[in-house]
Amino acid sequence: MNNSEIDFKVNQIRELNIKHPSLADALDTIQIAYLSVRKQRSMNEGKIPSSYKPTCGVITGPTGVGKTTLCNFVKTSLPSKEVTKNNLHKTIIPCIYVSIANMSTPKSVTGRILEEFDQEVPNRATEHQMLRQLKELFTTCETNIVLLDEIHDIVTGTGLTKVMSWLKSLVNETKAAIFLAGTEDSEAIVDANPELKTRFKMRMRLHYMRFDLDNPDSEFEM
């Protein structure tokens, strides 16, 4: 077998999808949360009532278990599109996905979300001003869900108290379903605050697939 054939086989393996019960359950949870926000928007002429509380959650698991794969699948399943409504051309962005870099701050992550809308972030803009801008963009672009991957890296750069305050503001301003993905200790980010713990009540704990040749109920299924 030559090198090109080896590369082809490797790519085939990388593209292979294996059904995993915990991933499937997490996907169902995310879909229900997304549809709930979309329904609220459709019932209220594109706007979400201030009293509405979106379903949010935390996706945790060890490295390589499939958290990023899950986030990418959701993002790919909800692509942006160009539409014309009432003779006005607009871009619909139903899902925002951001992978958080190490030592990020709430303000820098807010800026990354703005960049997903092709918005330039003014150097002197405050975090509050940026969140207000996000609120308008989420309404205009009908954005219903946000996926923040590697959420544990934001605490390292900022501290837990500021992150908790920022998350509450992000949920309150956007009214989107927000899902945090990170290592097993990421739940501590929301559990440390009673209000956040209630908001991020959905917990999706992913684990490595168990494979047992002698067990007919093994999780491994092609």
Name the pLDDT band for 10 (thresholds 50, 70, 90): very low
Distances (CA, A) of 41 to 6, 50, 93: 49, 12, 14
Tens of pLDDT, residues 79-106: 999 988 778 888 999 999 999 988 888 9
Tens of pLDDT, residues 22-40: 888 999 999 999 999 999 9
Q: Is the confidence at residue 164, as pLDDT, over 50?
A: yes
Domains and CATH numbers, the chain: 20-205 (3.40.50.300)
Distances (CA, A) of 194 to 73, 93, 188, 191: 31, 31, 11, 7
Q: Is the confidence at residue 121, as pLDDT, over 70?
A: yes
Single pTM value for the model: 0.85
